[in-house]
Structure 1
């Protein structure tokens, strides 16, 4: 009797659990060679007379519109009993049906051949799936449970890797639409390595047919170092929902370089195999995306919560969410010994110059640069823009602000790690979405109102440049300011390749993108001769005639030879008299391992 009662209870509880699952999918890949997948979806518990199903227009971790519906076709709809229903199109990304019986069954073909973190790719090497680019959904059912079964190609030895909860066999579960769409899937003949951090498991999934076992082991050791080093910033790993975190590393020639953070995993595709430069070239993406499991996924901007799949998502906090993460990716590499101190400092130069010599700061502060994400984050457009003069990537801008805040705090015998830890414990650990004002108030609490107000008022709400020369010197780094002759635009094969930079000699003289330069001060510009090399044969302030061809017509422009500010960075010699004991200590505290 007891056994009968137990079995009946288990059976009834299973029925209740299954009844809660309102969206079920089965996806198969019989025609993978032509980049097609077949999807069968069943949606139940529908209450609306007219049922609407949609493809996402955006994707977690991206901020622009992508209109995934463009790759969906061969749509067929029935009700729960198999009656054929007619689907109408209320908009370009949705379908509507009426006359259903509370259930609709939808089948369709998906074309997928872009293997990055935003889209999907299906071929005979893998099924690389970002779920917003793969599955339709019913907005009415967004808060109900979901299930997906992957009919893998056993003839290709495919396996499944995902943060979705494993149910049985090839079937996986998500508690709602937000978690489902935030869960990338790599289906391939991959290899795995894992290690424990207390009671949680970090897993490296590697789809890389060219890498040897020795290369996999060496790379896995680097991944472990990054994980442990970044954990020291916050003092702990997040509590992953199912006790596991996965790096979905797809390093195949058909993949597209990218990195996309998710709650308990990250998609990190690249066309570089570990055997072909990926050993050093791909680890930076690992570092960036893993830091996101704190900063963005749990320390989360209020503007992105919940993520809206029907529109572009805008946040003014990306300078912090993406930018501070960008600061910490290379910092964690140098702390873990993957980068040398010299290479780390040299690696700062390009970003430093890009940010602090850009005319874009006169148009937008870091918050407003973040607002530009829907127009620049893998967004597509055919019309020309003037972003060379108006935009600074919030990744780069934010990373330089993170550097500035870290060095400014260290000047006061504090550091950015402890501030990030405070933000984590205040907002991230308890998953309370934050605003810019929250970050400001937290800095006031951490470092005092005078310091916090000055930093935000000068560098976040406005676009000021920190006193880097002094800040760098405190940690034994020399900032060099140069004023070299500079044209102000990139010239390739005699043609101007970008909009001239505001304030430069090229801009003031009226040059345009597309102009073909024929002569510079009587000197013929031929082949790949550098424009600045020619200009250096003249003196600053000298006016010369430049002959160009524009729209098929030759014309002359008068160029006033000018200079432009640029910066260099170098480590001070540890044995030099200028390098004090205190500076050495501060440099070590900044760059040395915390493990």
Structure 2
């Protein structure tokens, strides 16, 4: 029996239909009917997807575009990499048909094979120039031969769908189509309520031992904690007080469990996630895998984006331009502050203890402190450069930039602890004030600064200048000590002490990154070198000159003994090189540990 929902108030001007044309060839077939096209109608496919700041050229997967008006074929002329002009008459219904190859497992594009289908509207749905605000429908057909095995999940509102979820959905405009991914296949699914808001969690690729009940219970705890964070203890759908009413009336989590991957992408009413299959909670496990904590952090991060970046967002994102880069210097706030709260809210919700939270915070701090690029670029500049740096990592990236996720999270930490040290205000108060003042809409840096001043009772311009727009060190140790956390030194890993990032695999040491200013750079190491071994000169006590093959950096102390210098033997482009390496003195890395339980509880409790 078909399941019906309230029909759209007006006849849709644009109608998309998606078919799984060939599962083995990974091909979707898309039909788009435009009721009232313009003469010489232009259509485009986005070059990027909001939330992932890189031009990805989705049009490279589109082929076989044809157009008809009635029974008459009309010419299609491609004008640039992602734009086509249709030689059609105005006002007469126009039908476009084309195919899209879907073979990208990531959350950003599209996938189709005999086990699963997934797509974002930015990969499949052409944007009709001049009709971006027109109401749309999206019809999704079940693949032939899948019977009742496959289902369909999306946050779009149903118009007429069957029990498996296939059928017609509606969207207010193209932005909603672009912001509503679709999951297809024989996935696991569960529905649950969070303070009156219906939620659904679908998981593709889970193994037989997957503990769905645990995942739902923990996810519900996360969602409740975040709704109360933003809207107070009285948070609930339909609350009379608008401030207590969540901005979303439905939400869908879509998780794809695979052999080896991790990530997520936020949307207004849903999120697409990907994780290692072994990170899922397992039934009967005495202790869940460490990866499950990481997965809960990902769930928390993407759900927090429901408020921070999808609604409260950079002023530059008030309206997306899908045809080119959309620059902002505020990703340190929208991604970095979200990264601060993702694990912090797990702690407040009781899903982490203090020690585990501080272990996660230690990892974040060391990621920043071990990145020379923090001295080369501010976190605001890194936000602006995301389009050409963060999403295109190479061997020089750690020396040239800093992550607006990790350093942004530490900026949030420092601002939060500063507010707490100076009075009873917290960063929580700033976030809620920004939400209230903006109406959950676009903001600029001046408005963010004004909210800090209103909450903290003074200007935070000096902190913004040093921490956001400067490249100096953050005052982590002092602020953490004032809140019950000791910043301890412990020995750095061998690679970090040498100024390297390496891959150790199959008995070989391959250099991936040479860090700026380290001993390895001074010796002449280069990315992609294979470090074969070391030579030691004759030394005191009658020691003879000798050479050793190494298979991992932890072998070095065994062969070096007390030697302070050696010759590194490396292979570079099939050429064997001898590099004079001075062994640096012992170095330390940061470890955060509880020091004063009462002070710590005042922050984390």
Counterpart among 269, 288, 298 of residue 274 in structure 2: 269
Q: Is the counterpart of residue 140 in structure 1 residue 119 in structure 2?
A: no
Residue aligning to 1:232: 228
**Corresponding residue SS for 1:472:** helix
Q: Is the counterpart of residue 344 in structure 1 residue 354 in structure 2?
A: no
**Corresponding residue SS for 1:140:** coil
In structure 2, the CA distance between the partners of 1:252 and 1:550, relative to structure 1 (3 Å rule), is closer
Residue aligning to 2:543: none
Counterpart among 197, 202, 206 of residue 205 in structure 1: 202
Distance in 1 between the 2:246 and 2:98 partners?
33
Distance in 1 between the 2:102 and 2:603 partners?
44
Q: Deviation of residue 499 (structure 1)?
A: 3.4
Distance in 2 between the 1:100 and 1:121 partners?
35
Normalised to the residue count of structure 2, the TM-score between the two structures is 0.85
**Corresponding residue SS for 1:334:** helix
CA displacement, residues 441-477 of structure 1 (integer Å, 9 cap, x when unaligned): 2111211334x12211210121222322221222222
Range with greater deviation from structure 2 (111-120 or 96-105):
96-105
Counterpart among 406, 412, 422 of residue 402 in structure 1: 412
Mapping for residues 177-196 of structure 1, pairs under 5 Å: 177-196=174-193
Contact kept, 8 Å, 2:136 with 2:174, in 1: the verdict is yes
- The number of residue pairs the alignment matches comes to 558
Range with greater deviation from structure 2 (477-486 or 262-271):
477-486
Structure 2: runs of 5+ lacking an equivalent: 1-5, 162-166, 237-243, 283-288, 538-545
CA displacement, residues 501-530 of structure 1 (integer Å, 9 cap, x when unaligned): 111111223222233443243453424231
Range with greater deviation from structure 2 (549-558 or 224-233):
549-558
Counterpart among 484, 497, 509 of residue 511 in structure 2: 497
Q: Deviation of residue 231 (structure 1)?
A: 2.2
Contact kept, 8 Å, 1:115 with 1:256, in 2: the verdict is no
Residue aligning to 1:106: 96
In structure 2, the CA distance between the partners of 1:366 and 1:281, relative to structure 1 (3 Å rule), is closer
Distance in 1 between the 2:577 and 2:206 partners?
55
In structure 2, the CA distance between the partners of 1:530 and 1:436, relative to structure 1 (3 Å rule), is same
Residue aligning to 2:241: none
Contact kept, 8 Å, 1:52 with 1:138, in 2: the verdict is yes
Supply the RMSD in Å over aligned alpha carbons: 2.8
Residue aligning to 1:359: 372
Distance in 2 between the 1:536 and 1:313 partners?
53
Range with greater deviation from structure 2 (525-534 or 151-160):
525-534
Counterpart among 159, 166, 190 of residue 167 in structure 1: 159
Mapping for residues 221-260 of structure 1, pairs under 5 Å: 221-234=217-230, 235=232, 236=235, 243-252=249-258, 256-260=261-265
Residue aligning to 1:26: 17
Residue aligning to 1:480: 488
**Corresponding residue SS for 1:106:** strand
Structure 1: runs of 5+ lacking an equivalent: 1-12, 574-578
In structure 2, the CA distance between the partners of 1:454 and 1:530, relative to structure 1 (3 Å rule), is same
Counterpart among 288, 312, 316 of residue 303 in structure 1: 316
CA displacement, residues 479-507 of structure 1 (integer Å, 9 cap, x when unaligned): 12457672111344565523321111112
CA displacement, residues 42-92 of structure 1 (integer Å, 9 cap, x when unaligned): 112223x2111122111121110111111111222112x121011111112
Counterpart among 562, 582, 585 of residue 560 in structure 1: 582
**Corresponding residue SS for 1:60:** coil
In structure 2, the CA distance between the partners of 1:459 and 1:241, relative to structure 1 (3 Å rule), is closer
Q: Deviation of residue 385 (structure 1)?
A: 5.2
Range with greater deviation from structure 2 (244-253 or 90-99):
244-253
Residue aligning to 1:392: 402
Counterpart among 554, 571, 583 of residue 593 in structure 2: 571
| Structure of greater relative contact order (alpha carbons < 8 Å, 6+ residues apart) | 1
In structure 2, the CA distance between the partners of 1:458 and 1:313, relative to structure 1 (3 Å rule), is same
**Corresponding residue SS for 2:514:** coil
Structure (1/2) with the larger helix percentage: 1
Q: Is the counterpart of residue 76 in structure 1 residue 66 in structure 2?
A: yes
Residue aligning to 1:5: none
**Corresponding residue SS for 1:84:** strand
In structure 2, the CA distance between the partners of 1:405 and 1:536, relative to structure 1 (3 Å rule), is farther
Q: Deviation of residue 271 (structure 1)?
A: 4.2
Q: Is the counterpart of residue 369 in structure 1 residue 366 in structure 2?
A: no
Q: Deviation of residue 281 (structure 1)?
A: 4.6
